Amino acid sequence: MNLIKTFQTRIENEIQSLFSTSEGPQNLYDPAKYVMLMGGKRIRPVLCLTGCALFNPDSVEDAVSPAVGLEIFHNFTLLHDDLMDKSDMRRNNPTVHKKWNDNIAILSGDAMMVMAYREIAKAPVNVLPSVLEIFSQTAIEVCEGQQFDMDFETCDDVSVIEYLEMIRLKTSVLLGGSIKIGAIIGGADNEEAQILYKFGCNAGISFQLQDDWLDIYGDSSEFGKPIGGDIVCNKKTFLLITALNDLPEKSKKELQKWLQRREFDREEKINAVKNFYEEAKVSKKAQQKMNFYYSDSLKRLSELNRPKEILDELAQFAYNLMIRSK
C-alpha cells in the first residue's frame, strides 16, 4: 500500500484542474496560479486525506476539497511571509512580490485566503461546523505565530521555549489541523482526532527545526533558496538562540558583534556565524531536538487502534519530513 503517493497525485490533479483557468483580473489570479502550480510537497492536504482514510477510506473524496483549501491557505501564508521577509526566491523561483510587486502580492494573497475558505466549506454538512472551527482556530494561530516571529526580530532575549512556541503556532498547528480535519471528515471521535492533532503538531515542530537546519547546512540547489538567509537577517532560530545560550562569554560577545553590524560582506558573515555554531555544537543539538519531537509524534500514533499499514505510512511520512533536504 502506498496511500501517500496516491493522495499526492490526487491533490496535484485537483490543484491543476482548479488553477488551470481563471476569469477576472490577471494580476489578481495569475500570481495565485503561479504559486499553486510551482510545486511543493503537498504535506498538509496529504495529511488531511490520510487522516480521513484512517477512519473511513470511502470518505476520502469528501475530504479532497477541504484538503486543497488547506494547501491554498498554506501557500497564501508563504506569499505574504515572503513579502514580509523581503525574500527573493521560493522553490528556486522568484517570489510573487519580486515577479510582480508588493501590492499585487498582498491582494493575490487575500484572494487565496478567500479561495481557501471556499474549498474548506465544501466539507460534508454534518461535520462542516467542526471543520470550519478547526480551520479558523488554526488560521488565527498561524497569524499569531507570524507576529511572534516578527516581534522576535527586535528582541534580544528570545528563549528556546518561546521559539518552540512560535514555530508551533506558525508552522506545526497547520499540520495538526490538517490531519485533524481529515479525521473528523472520516468519522473520528474528538479524542482520536485530538491524538492525530498532537501527532501532526509534533511532526511539524520537527519539520520546522529541519527547515532551520537546512538554511544553514543545506544545499541551495535543493533547498530552493540561498543558504544562510537566516544568518544574514539575524533571524531568531533554534540554532542562533542555542549558540547565544551555550557559547563561552568571549565567543558570545564576538557573535553579538556580528549581529549588531549594519554593513558586512554576506559570505563573510555567514562563515563567521557558522564557525560559532560549530563551536556551540548547535547542529547536533538541533538534530537531537528534532528527534525528540519526531519520537513524540510516533508515541501519539501508537495510541490509535487503526489500520497498521496506514499508521506505518504516517510514521514514515513524518520521518521523511525530518530528514528531507529541501
pLDDT for 230: 93
Condensed to tens digits (0 to 9), the pLDDT of residues 33-63 reads: 999 999 889 999 999 999 999 999 999 999 9
pLDDT for 50: 98
The yes-or-no verdict on residue 325 having pLDDT over 80 is: no
Query: pLDDT-based confidence at 123, cuts 50/70/90?
Result: very high
Query: Environment class of residue 86 by beta-carbon count within 10 Å: exposed (0-12), middle (13-18) or buried (19+)?
Result: exposed
pLDDT for 271: 96
State the amino acid at position 14 in one-letter form.
Answer: E
User: Comparing 13-27, 78-92, 215-229, which segment has the lowest mean pLDDT?
Assistant: 215-229
Condensed to tens digits (0 to 9), the pLDDT of residues 129-168 reads: 999 999 999 999 999 999 999 999 999 899 999 999 999 9
pLDDT for 65: 98
pTM of the model: 0.95
How far is it, in rounded angstroms, from Cα 46 to Cα 52? 10
User: Comparing 148-162, 179-193, 268-282, 312-326, which segment has the lowest mean pLDDT?
Assistant: 312-326
Q: Give the residue from 302, 68, 306 showing the smallest Cα distance to 186.
A: 306
The yes-or-no verdict on residue 1 having pLDDT over 70 is: no
Write the class of the CATH domain 3-323.
mainly alpha
pLDDT for 222: 77
pLDDT for 299: 97
Condensed to tens digits (0 to 9), the pLDDT of residues 68-91 reads: 999 999 999 999 999 998 889 898
Q: Helical H runs in the chain?
A: 3-19, 26-36, 43-55, 60-85, 96-99, 102-120, 128-152, 160-167, 173-186, 190-217, 220-223, 229-232, 238-246, 249-260, 266-280, 282-302, 308-323
pLDDT for 220: 78
Condensed to tens digits (0 to 9), the pLDDT of residues 237-271 reads: 999 999 999 999 999 999 999 999 999 999 999 99
pLDDT for 219: 84
Whether 24 and 85 have beta carbons less than 8 Å apart is answered as no
The domain segmentation of the chain, as residue ranges, is 3-323
Q: Give the residue from 283, 201, 224 showing the smallest Cα distance to 91.
A: 224
